A = this chain, B = another copy of it.
């Protein structure tokens, strides 16, 4: 009972193969779920969504795949302080525009914002250069988050 598979090569297939990974139905399903969601999904949430279409896929595979995807840089892994990792597609053909997060410490809601991003990015790049010079630290990524109270919780 082979799973239904999308024959047409997806945008990420090349990169995936290039890293020596095989294209499998669970992996396609996971990336499909991620690319169709605007939320910051947890492993279990992804599992449930994938499970709807492919009940055979196990939670273990979800974790394994997410780990690979994060290491490849196809997705970002976030910690918003609710003791479960959350994932979202990074920039790319299907990725949302680069953004940062506001985290409500009361209701745990996450708000994406991309305003002021340009100035932030500019400053961050400057900082990264400075860090490289002073600490010889080669930054590949950064994280900015604001914690506080959302509109409803104030």
Binding site for B on A (CB under 8 A): 79, 81, 102, 104-105, 111, 113, 115-116, 119-120, 123, 126-128, 130-131, 134-151, 154
Contact = CB atoms under 8 A, between A and B. Distances in A.
Contacts of A120: 123, 127
12 contacts: A79-B81, A102-B137, A113-B134, A113-B135, A115-B134, A135-B150, A136-B150, A138-B148, A139-B148, A140-B148, A141-B146, A143-B144
A142 to B, nearest CB: 5
B113 A131 contact: yes
Which of A135, A142, A146 lies at the interface centre, i.e. has the most chain B CB atoms within 10 A of its CB?
A146
Contacts of A138: 148-149, 154
A147 B151 contact: no
A139 B130 contact: no
Given A144-B144, A146-B128, A137 B111 contact: yes
Contacts of A127: 116, 119-120, 146
A147 B126 CA distance: 15
Nearest to A146: B139
A147 B140 contact: yes
Given A142-B146, A143-B147, A116 B137 contact: no
Contacts of A131: 102, 113, 115-116, 146
Contacts of A105: 140
A149 B140 contact: yes
